Amino acid sequence: MITPVLPTYNRAPLSFAEGRGSWLTTTDGERFLDLGAGIAVNVLGHAAPELVEVLTAQANKLWHVSNLYTIPEQEKLARALVDATFADTVFFTNSGTEAAELAVKMARKYWYEKGGRSDIVAFEGAFHGRSSAAIAASGSEKMVKGFGPLLPGFRQVPFDDPASLDAITDTTAAVIIEPMQGEGGIRVASDAFLRALRAKCDATGALLIFDEVQCGMGRTGKLFAHEWAGVTPDIMMVAKGIGGGFPLGAVLATEAAAAGMVAGTHGSTYGGNPLGCAIGGKVMDVVNDPSFLAEVARKAALFRQGLEGLVASYPEVFEGVRGQGLLLGLKCKAQVADVVKAAYAQNLLTVPAADNVLRLLPALNIPDEDIAEAIARLDKAAASV
């Protein structure tokens, strides 16, 4: 039977009608505890009152005018991002995939203006989106099979491996990396590796691109994950959490890295519209607060402690805990698909990842009692596997 929606998703048999905080209610009235947060999107939970207030106020004033005009809400959010990061300039998109496209274009345009480098080094296990440039960067068979010929110029090397630095040479235009791989199995690049990577890029002139679409916006306990290593990129991709559930993304860059992106080199009809940027501005106000980020770190420690207990209690189901902050993973010995299904039976939503990992990325303001409830439900799920 042909369905009206293109069947590219392997969907669970669940439909939700309402959400509040860390809880979702199905169309049949069942309540589920959500440890997926729309895949790291709903950083303040479902129907966050402060976001509903801003959305309603802006919707009653102005939704969209296009980038033919100056947009005050966009200017304000860009200023907040610049003030909080390494960046000098920001371009707004609607998604992480669009951010990846611009990051690649920006790096190649930089070198076009300076002498023609185009090769980009990426990392095995990466996920940068599903556009032509993004799948070429990932290079995995699952992502690229049937979609050739691929955009040329990408080379994949082992993640978090010092030997990979040898692939970066005086002919490399850029290096693109997630400081923490989400889809790739909650794998964290060591601080030492990120520092060595920054140094190698500096030595060769290659631009360093960080993909913080999933690990950014407070998820690790700092505004952006790379802050833990004390290094900065030249270009950074942001999305997911920045809109708190509203489609919004951004590319942040230094003035030098963005120098080639002059008028007419890139654009977006919807990117950075008044409605999206008003919401994103409020997300920044809330998340980029030292007390909020300290709470993320505290909640993460509480959550991790509970997960370590589950690993100890169910060594035949779980192998260990991965991740940082509230981007956590349970490396499974049992099939992760079976654990996800067992969690569904306990009215608990989780997300699978590569390398047989169960991904846990709740709202950043998840209450302590919901963390305790999540651990209890995971315990019952593990017992049933």
Ordered structural domains, the chain, with CATH? 16-34+290-384 (3.90.1150.10), 51-287 (3.40.640.10)
Whole-number Cα distances in Å, 18 to 27, 47, 52: 8, 9, 14
For position 116, what pLDDT does the model report? 85
Total-model pTM? 0.96
Structure tokens at 9: 């998703």
Q: Is 255 exposed, middle or buried (0-12, 13-18, 19+ CB in 10 A)?
A: exposed
Q: How far apart are CA 332 and CA 18, in angstroms?
A: 31
Residues forming a β-bridge with 331:
320, 357
pLDDT of the chain, 385 residues: tens digit per residue: 678 999 999 999 999 999 999 999 999 999 999 999 999 999 999 999 999 999 999 999 999 999 999 999 999 999 999 999 999 999 999 999 999 999 999 999 999 988 889 999 999 999 999 999 999 999 988 899 999 999 999 999 999 999 999 999 999 999 999 999 999 999 999 999 999 999 999 999 999 999 999 999 999 999 999 999 999 999 999 999 999 999 999 999 999 999 999 999 999 999 999 999 999 999 999 999 999 999 999 999 999 999 999 999 999 999 999 999 999 999 999 999 999 999 999 999 999 999 999 999 999 999 999 999 999 999 999 999 9
| Sheet arrangement for strand 207-211 | 89-93, 249-253, 235-238, 207-211, 172-177, 119-123, 154-157
For position 113, what pLDDT does the model report? 85
- Secondary structure letter of residue 63 according to DSSP: -
For position 256, what pLDDT does the model report? 97
For position 376, what pLDDT does the model report? 98
- DSSP letters along 95-122, please? SHHHHHHHHHHHHHHHHHHHT---EEEE
For CA atoms 53, 59, 62, 65, give the dihedral sign: positive
For position 1, what pLDDT does the model report? 62
Q: Is 80 exposed, middle or buried (0-12, 13-18, 19+ CB in 10 A)?
A: middle
Structure tokens at 190: 């060591």
For position 133, what pLDDT does the model report? 94
